[in-house]
Amino acid sequence: MKPLDRPPDTTVVLPGSKSITNRVLVTAALARGTTRLSSALFADDTLAMIDGLGVMGVNCVPDSADGSIVVEGCGAEFADSAASGEALVDARRSGTTSRFLMPVAALRNAPTVIDGDHQLRGRPMDHQIDALRDLGASVQELGHPGRLPVRLAGPITGRSCSIEGSASSQFASGLLLAGGVTGLSLRLAADPVSWPYLEMTLAVMRAFGAQVDVAEAQSSVEGRVLTVGGGYASPGTYNVEPDASAASYFLAAAAITGGRVRIERLGSSSIQGDVAFADVLAQMGAEVTIDDNSIEVSGGELRGVDIDLRDISDTAPTLAVVAAFASGVTTVSGIGFVRHKESDRVGGPVNELRRCGIDAEETADGFVVRPEDLPIGAAFETYQDHRMAMAFALIGLVVEGVSICDPGCVAKTFPGYFGALEQLR
């Protein structure tokens, strides 16, 4: 990494949202009619979804040249039969692919095995396995209990279930996406993590004509009840927003360098919860301007904050880096569940902050950062985690002697990340 010669003053163009792209791919596959995704993300996670849907009989035609994907919806009438043989879906490292396609697989007549690489095999799947069994699906665990690989077969006969939401919102999103076809009443835990991601799922479902009802919790020990159904009809074209999680790195870059970065087509009208990271930067002292379709951040005198990132946990590594450049203590809470993401996103940021001379410690559900001076250069470990790589690369915009181990792991969601950083020069 080479530090910037001067603070950035630019508008950054970002790829489409991974979270939206994968939700739209699944919904379009289950819809009646053909859907064209424009400005879609082309990365390992979305390609895993395209390939997985293809294995299950859905025709998806990607065109990376113009950022489009054409999906021929099957109306949940998969072109298979019990005699057609077992389908094998390789979800690679994609949590959304595995957790969204498990319920979809239970809509097929033929059995489906869903697997992934060693990293994904280590991530928990037990909550979704239990929920699918409650709905009548057949689920066989072929390896360690509660982990991939699993063999699934339909039909889904139940119309209601509950799910404990302390580990990931992806389980509930997968059930809801399939439930848009079968009809489903899903009771959430009293305090599910990453609620904005569930709101994103429901927004995509509404765009495809599904019926969605959200009943608020009736007591402190009960959660919301989400009722969905009615099936999907293609809207024709779905324009994917830029990725708000990816935006966090560039907004953070403006904050720590004292520069200015503007991102267009992403603002207060976004269906992505991670746009709220801009509000966190504002609390820390950055100058932030947000309108319906743009976000602009200019650096300021940064100060530490005490903040709960439960709803925008993907930005935790990014905030850890920003905290290293702030005066005062930053305390992050509400994210104990991210220890089971692609890496331990509580322990990892703490280890890497210590590596560059910043005092940091883990807590039960987050971390504390106590900077006394600027970070020093270091070779940062990524733990094969794209978000760790992208976050800690930001230190190299300010400090000499920074390198990133395994920078290629960013291909999971943002293959062009390091090239995009050059837009800041």
Q: Is 377 helix (H, G, I), strand (E, B) or coil?
A: coil
Residues 25 and 136 in one domain: yes
* 105 and 194 assigned to the same domain: yes
Q: In terms of Cα–Cα distance, which of 268, 273, 240, 247 is closest to 20?
A: 240
- 249 and 182 co-located in one domain: no
| Rounded average pLDDT over 197-221 | 91
Predicted local confidence at residue 190, as pLDDT = 64
Give the whole-angstrom CA distance, residue 317 versus residue 120.
Answer: 20
Residues 248 and 193 in one domain: no
CA–CA separation, 222 vs 163, rounded Å?
Answer: 12
CB-CB contact of 17 with 242 (8 Å): yes
Within a domain: 233: no
Q: Is 183 left (phi over 0), alpha (psi -120 to 50) or beta?
A: left
Query: Is the same domain home to 273 and 404?
Result: yes
Check if 314 is active-site. yes
Out of 80, 314, 373, 406, the active site residue is 314
Confidence of residue 222 (pLDDT cuts 50, 70, 90): confident
pLDDT score at 80:
56
Same domain, residue pair 69 and 185: yes
Instruction: Please tell me whether residues 357 and 300 are part of one structural domain.
Output: yes
- Domain boundary among the residues 193, 212, 231 is at 212
Q: Domain count for the chain, please give it.
A: 2
- 232 within a domain of the structure (yes/no): no
- Supply the pLDDT for residue 81: 47
Range of the domain at 386: 9-15+242-424
Residue 82 reports pLDDT greater than 60: no
**Last residue within a domain, chosen from 212, 230, 254:** 212
User: Is 357 a member of any domain?
Assistant: yes
Same domain? For 258 and 308 the reply is: yes
> How far lies 191's CA from each of 43, 115, 217, 379, in Å?
31, 29, 10, 38
Q: 187 and 273: one domain?
A: no
Q: 388 falls in which pLDDT band (50, 70, 90)?
A: very high
Torsion, Cα of 178, 167, 354, 308 (10° steps)? 90
Provide CB contacts within 8 A for 369, sequence distance 6+: 304, 320, 323, 324, 326, 329, 330, 331, 332, 353, 358, 359, 360
- Please indicate, yes or no, if residue 3 is contained in any of the structural domains: no
pLDDT recorded at residue 219: 67
Domain boundary among 172, 196, 212: 212
Distances (CA, A) of 212 to 103, 222, 412: 18, 19, 31
> Which spans in 242-312 are helix H?
244-257, 277-283
Q: In this structure, is residue 255 part of a structural domain?
A: yes
Q: Are residues 323 and 377 in the same domain?
A: yes
pLDDT digits (tens, 9 = 90+) for 111-163: 999 999 999 999 999 999 999 999 999 999 999 999 999 999 999 999 999 99
pLDDT mean across residues, the chain? 95
Task: Say if 251 falls within a structural domain.
Answer: yes
Cis peptide before 145 (omega within 30 of 0): no
Within this chain, do residues 181 and 35 fall inside the same structural domain, yes or no? yes
> Are the C-beta atoms of 314 and 246 separated by less than 8 Å?
no
87 domain residue, yes or no = yes
Q: How confident is the model at residue 84 (pLDDT cuts 50, 70, 90)?
A: low
Statement to judge: residues 182 and 315 lie in one domain: no
Q: Give the model confidence (pLDDT) of 243-252 as tens digits.
A: 999 999 999 9
Better pLDDT: 141 or 193: 141
- Is residue 231 in some structural domain? no
CATH code of the domain in which 104 resides: 3.65.10.10
The pair of three-digit structure tokens given for residue 266, joined into one six-digit string: 């992403």
